[in-house]
Structure 1
């Protein structure tokens, strides 16, 4: 009996979750992209995997780039098109490998190469202003907020890595923390003195007041449960607003700033790679472009014969 597109997508998502150990955010992204693909194929009268052709995949690529109102697809930026097509290609490869179809019809359909965009980072003074504005006061929530923002910048951590921390992941004596990155990969990252002090103050005077039930979670909400991603994000945005930083600020902005400031300070790119938890140094090297651009700007404004 021919495998339906919907059943094949469900099997692929199970494969990513169970066998590949992909992160929850990655699974959610793939589910959205493949749902868009499913709707597109349904609109073309395709219900089973054996009926999908290379032409269908190519037409899906065209629809993503130009939009297809009849099938509810709006035109996407090249970066989003590339991400969606990567999901479809991985899906078709899985179907071929598992014998659900005879051939991988998406193999020769290449996604567009999005333009290389430099990560946004903040000047050191702006970061310090945000840290100073985070968690103003001495109440439990203020102590939590200060510890959260300090830890984000001190470790260059992803927001998901920080909110998933348990108390036992901290080693205050050796000033280190265990972060769990994409795919469940663990790494030990050093923690700076101000962040250690902020976390210690929170553990002693803040967390006990928030802990209304037994939980291993480090950062707690007012109900005693683990702090959510959205709440942690808002804490940072509020701190940036209080600090008068009028740029767009997100947890990833602090991560980009962490990497850029280390490289500006002379850190080796491979050390920064390990600290960020990047599987490839190529991903980290994009930050070196930021520092090169900064040097060019300084040169252009400071050198007497730059023009």
Structure 2
């Protein structure tokens, strides 16, 4: 297992979030093998045993999306074992993933959120301006949580007003910085310098102890401010990424351009946002057309 996770981290360049999830998934599977079948090595499990584990997850009312992630983990693991000649046949070839009902990505309303950014009085302090720049970054660039945490000050091009982002699969992309975000970055950096001088982390976003931010911290910040404008459960950092894409699409942005900004590998992943746009068009049509 240790070799497998090193392979995912250093060769496949999986994100820290995915690595943590896969650690959990493979650990749960190993516990199941030991408790139910007294098997200590997952390499000894065949497709019937794996299928029984999946069935037990279904019986526990685990969401299909979560089960599919666990199946994806096992697919990667047994494919790795096969490449290392630890097993002679891949048991996952006979495993089918449960169907997942596609949900439209949640997003925050455009006007209330922009009113929050423009009208809310964030504290004129390191913490207050850090909160603001977190919101501005997620909404203004559409970047992922892990990408935001990984940004260093050197990734910001002051002349081109762009930010360099290292995305999934170690793929690099350049995202333009809007004027509002640019102003927030400069204000935050001034506070950061006054707070820590030159003795701080190279990462852009840090705690009050000059350590890099972590996912739960950003989750708390985003939830705190989104809850001021909506009671929706859609209040995670990823919702601001969805909002970025949906609002661009509603304003007539090209789908391929949105794909490149989001760092999607294929257009299929971006097309899900067109459904939100279509729902808005339906609403306008029903209100405005005399025959609606």
**TM norm structure 2:** 0.92
**Contact persistence 2:173–2:263 (CA under 8 A):** yes
Quick check: 1:55 aligned with 2:40? no
Report what 1:179 is aligned to.
165
User: Does 2:106 match 1:106?
Assistant: no
Kept in 1: contact 2:43–2:81 (CA 8 A): no
In structure 2, what is the Cα distance between the partners aligned to 1:97 and 1:135? 56
1:64 has 2:57 as partner: yes
> How far off its partner does 1:50 sit?
5.3
Aligned-partner Cα distance in 2 for 1:228–1:54: 38
Bigger RCO (CA 8 Å, 6+ sep): 2
Which residue of structure 2 aligns with residue 246 of structure 1? 231
User: How big is each residue's C-alpha offset from its partner over 1:151-202, in whole Å with a ceiling of 9 and x where there is no partner?
Assistant: 2111011122122211111113211101111232211000111111111122
Find the counterpart in structure 2 of residue 44 from structure 1.
37
Residue aligning to 1:12: 4
The whole-number CA distance in structure 2 between the counterparts of 1:293 and 1:251 is: 23
1:132 to 110, 113, 118: 118
> Contact 1:20 / 1:183 at 8 angstroms: preserved in 2?
yes
Query: Which residue of structure 1 aligns with residue 194 of structure 2?
Result: 209
Q: Say if 1:134 and 1:145, in contact at 8 Å, map to a contact too.
A: no
SS at match of 2:92: coil
In the alignment, is the contact (CA less than 8 A) between 1:124 and 1:261 conserved in 2? yes
Q: Whole-Å Cα distance in 2 between the matches of residues 135 and 90 of structure 1?
A: 48
**Structure 1 runs, 4 residues or longer, greater than 6 Å off:** none
Q: Secondary structure at the match of 1:202?
A: helix
